[in-house]
Structure 1
Amino acid sequence: MRSPEPLTGHIAETVTVPWSVVPEYHCFGCSPHNSSGLGLRFTPHGDGLLARFRLDRRFESYPGVVHGGLIGVICDEVMGNLIVLARRVPAFTVSQRTRFLTPLLIEHDYRCVATLSADKDGTIAAVADILDEDDGLCASSSAVYRPFALADVRHQLTLGDADVARLQHALSTPDPHFPHRNGDHP
């Protein structure tokens, strides 16, 4: 995958995700260290987060068409990173529903825009839309996430003590693009 130039003609500032403090993290969606991954980069977008992308034939299902599962992955990645950036807390996906309106084509420019929608019973809900160059809606996804404390999931994550300390420091450092955290948002 290669990231296209912004469709609006200006370059927005890329946001650094907290996971980047873990040397060689290999997230399929956003790690620059995963040569098989999507390499998504994120920019602030109003109250949400945006990722622009263009997928090549490695991500094809039918000839010329992006595999539908990757559409869900991209939406989940943008929504999940919005939560970690805006709320400064990591969260696991509890459920996700994606609606496909039109096939996404290989080697075409798209953008995924995510916003937070609600908090309920200790979970955070988010929505994401994938739009084409003409602002046409191609796919829409909604998901529910459960925030977690790193200490509570140490047995599930392959992070050493130094990685946990770096990540906890990154999560406790406010991001100027996302000044609000937890329930303290507009």
Structure 2
Amino acid sequence: MQATDLCLQERYAPHNACYGCGPANDKGLHVRSFPDGDQVVAEWTPEAHHEAFPGVLNGGIIGSILDCHCNWTAAWHLMTQRGEDHPPCTVTMDYQIRLKRPTPTDGPLRLVARVVETDGDVVTVEGQLYAGDKLCDTCHGRFMAVKPGHPAYHRW
């Protein structure tokens, strides 16, 4: 993966203004997710204003980046599973974040997500957030492709 490569968000939703992953949100977190075999990966570097206290990432930020990254993992999975050229718009049904250890803000973080179950339009994804080789946080969530009439249907 090169820094110049388009991530899923830039390729399929360049006008999306989502706080966590929207390329069009000037004040957003700009999670950039890339398919890598059977998983989707991202690298994200926190800044001081993302901290809960000095040197430690805020839990809400952790939830946001894992939620968005896992949601894009679900969308990518449905697109490839269905042989489509564009991912369906997916939304979060539910997710659980486990904060396993303080997440440091002194360098890049790595997000890894993979699909564990698919049931029609609902995809269950498990994600992990690493600082170096240390697992700091996990996510288990369900994400659903939405249909016309849903408020998020045309967001990307």
State TM-score, norm by structure 1: 0.69
Equivalent positions of 1:78-93 (< 5 A) are 78-87=69-78, 88-93=87-92
Q: 1:102 maps to what in 2? A: 101
Q: Which among 7, 22, 28 is matched to residue 19 of structure 2?
A: 28
How far off its partner does 1:72 sit?
A: 1.2
Q: 1:63 maps to what in 2? A: 54
One-letter code aligned to 2:134: G
Native 8 Å contact 2:90 2:145 kept in 1: yes
Q: 2:117 maps to what in 1? A: 118
Native 8 Å contact 2:19 2:25 kept in 1: yes
RMSD: 2.2
Change (3 A) 1:121 1:82: closer
Native 8 Å contact 2:117 2:125 kept in 1: yes
How far off its partner does 1:90 sit?
A: 1.8
Q: 2:149 maps to what in 1? A: 152
Q: 1:142 maps to what in 2? A: 140
Q: 1:15 maps to what in 2? A: 7
Native 8 Å contact 1:83 1:89 kept in 2: no
User: Structure 1: where are the runs of 5+ without partners?
Assistant: 1-9, 168-186
Distance in 1 (CA, whole Å) between partners of 2:119 and 2:75 is 17
One-letter code aligned to 1:30: C
Identity, in percent, stands at: 23
One-letter code aligned to 2:141: A
One-letter code aligned to 2:140: S
Q: Which has the larger radius of gyration?
A: 1
Distance in 2 (CA, whole Å) between partners of 1:53 and 1:79 is 14
Native 8 Å contact 2:74 2:124 kept in 1: no
Distance in 2 (CA, whole Å) between partners of 1:140 and 1:16 is 21
Distance in 2 (CA, whole Å) between partners of 1:145 and 1:33 is 22
